[in-house]
């Protein structure tokens, strides 16, 4: 017999990682930039969190350092895309490799030692913030405030927004910092509570950033949609052991979330269009 309540709560840590990273990306994409580098930012943040919490003995310092490292990558992305006018796709993809490469070098320097964990109180508050507070705040800011109109105008037509006096560059840099901070928090949280449990194992934290990018689309660039999508994908992750018990080989069970997401991506766009929820024009138009 499946313990439904246990399954529902097992999904929470996964959903938290996804929700944090995806909300960070959602905010940036609403401001008209798409950062494909999430995978690298999460990985670097996790590595930096590992080494700093090991050396300082304080998980909070580790967490903060992870966030800072991710913001640095986000700003590097901004330097290339905004200052140099470089292509967003190639810059983002390079950030992925840079983050994974550096993150792994840094994470491995811990030698796989167990670092102090963040404790249940901090864990719970991050979960609640990510899944309840953040989506509501983002919704209010983006869709019910003057500031939100400014941000969203950049995702629709930056040139017009600029002509109307919106400080385009400044707003986008602010969006990048928010993007970096939330994605970095996702990486730190993943390190503490993910499959490794406060211990660095090389190349075992892959796929989270990419999936978060998918979740932005599944939630159709809406904070509430994104949090629901995060939870559903988290649930898929939590269900993998269950699939194995009904005779599905572990190799297939492991990739079920990706399979389901690709199918979901295929059917969902039309559905949202009917509900008249639109993605930012600058990011995605059919």
Partner 1 sequence: MNARLRGLVYGAIGLVLGLLFSVLVSMALGAFTSLGALGFSKILLSSLMSKDTWISALPYFVPIAASASSLALAYRAGFITIGAEGQVMLGAVAAYWLLYYVIEHGSIAAIMVAILFAGLVGALYGGLVGGLRVGLGVNEILSSLMLNYIAIGIVNYLVAGPWQQGGYTRTAPLPANMGIGLSVAVLVVVIAGLLLELFIVFTKYGVAIDSVRLARKAAQTYGVGIASTIIIVALIQGFVAGIGGGVLLLQLLRQLRSVGLGGWGYGYMGILAAWLGGLRPLGALAASLLIAVLYSMRSTLQLYGVSDSFVLALEAIIVLSVLAFTTLSIRRGEK
The verdict on 196 binding partner 1 (CB under 8 A) reads no
Among 252, 271, 277, 281, binds partner 1 (CB under 8 A): 252
Q: Which is nearer to partner 1, 9 or 202 (CB)?
A: 202
Choose the binding region for partner 1 from 103-111, 112-120, 124-132, 229-237 (rule: CB under 8 A): 103-111
Shortest Cβ 49–partner 1 spacing (Å) = 16
The verdict on 145 binding partner 1 (CB under 8 A) reads no
For the window 207-246, what string marks contact with partner 1 as x by the rule CB under 8 A? x--x--xx--x-----------------------------
φ, ψ of residue 129 to 5 degrees: the values are -60, -45
Residue 233 in tokens: 């994908």
- SS3 annotation, 51-107: HHHHHHCCHHHHHHHHHHHHHHHHHHHHHHHHHCCCCHHHHHHHHHHHHHHHHHHHH
Contact indicator for 34, 97 with CB cutoff of 8 Å = no
Choose the binding region for partner 1 from 6-14, 17-25, 102-110, 123-131 (rule: CB under 8 A): 102-110
Among 16, 45, 91, 193, binds partner 1 (CB under 8 A): 91
Could you give the CA distance from residue 270 to residue 174 in angstroms, rounded to a whole number?
A: 32
φ, ψ of residue 206 to 5 degrees: the values are -95, 155
Could you give the CA distance from residue 169 to residue 188 in angstroms, rounded to a whole number?
A: 28
Residue with tokens 């300082």: 56
For the window 25-64, what string marks contact with partner 1 as x by the rule CB under 8 A? -----------x----------------------------
Could you give the CA distance from residue 35 to residue 39 in angstroms, rounded to a whole number?
A: 10
Site residues (CB under 8 A) for partner 1?
A: 36, 76, 80, 84-87, 89-91, 93-98, 100-106, 108, 202-204, 206-207, 210, 213-214, 217, 249-252, 254-255, 258-259, 261-262, 265-267, 269-270, 284, 286
């Amino acid at each position: 017999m499946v313990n439904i309540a246990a399954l529902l709560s097992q999904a929470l840590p996964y959903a938290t990682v996804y929700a944090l990273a995806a909300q960070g990306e959602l905010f940036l994409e609403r401001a008209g930039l798409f950062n494909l580098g999430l995978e690298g930012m999460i990985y670097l943040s996790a590595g930096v969190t590992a080494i700093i919490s090991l050396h300082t003995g304080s998980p909070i310092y580790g967490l903060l350092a992870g966030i800072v490292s991710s913001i640095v990558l986000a700003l590097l992305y901004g330097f290339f895309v905004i200052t140099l006018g470089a292509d967003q796709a190639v810059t983002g993809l390079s950030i992925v490799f840079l983050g994974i490469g550096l993150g792994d070098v840094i994470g491995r320097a811990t030698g796989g030692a167990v670092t102090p964990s963040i404790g249940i109180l901090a864990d719970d508050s991050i979960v609640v913030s990510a899944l309840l507070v953040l989506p509501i705040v983002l919704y209010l800011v983006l869709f019910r405030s003057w500031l939100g109109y400014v941000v969203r105008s950049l995702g629709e037509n930056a040139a017009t927004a600029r002509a109307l006096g919106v400080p385009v560059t400044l707003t986008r840099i602010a969006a990048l910092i928010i993007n970096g901070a939330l994605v970095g928090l996702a990486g730190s949280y993943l390190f503490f509570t993910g499959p490794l449990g406060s211990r660095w194992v090389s190349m075992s934290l892959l796929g989270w950033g990419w999936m978060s990018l998918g979740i932005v689309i599944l939630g159709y660039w809406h904070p509430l949609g994104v949090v629901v999508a995060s939870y559903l994908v988290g649930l898929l992750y939590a269900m993998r052991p269950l699939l194995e018990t009904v005779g599905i080989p572990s190799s297939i069970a492991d990739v079920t979330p990706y399979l389901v997401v690709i199918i979901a991506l295929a059917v969902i766009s039309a559905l949202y269009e009917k509900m008249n929820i639109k993605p930012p024009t600058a990011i995605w138009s059919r």
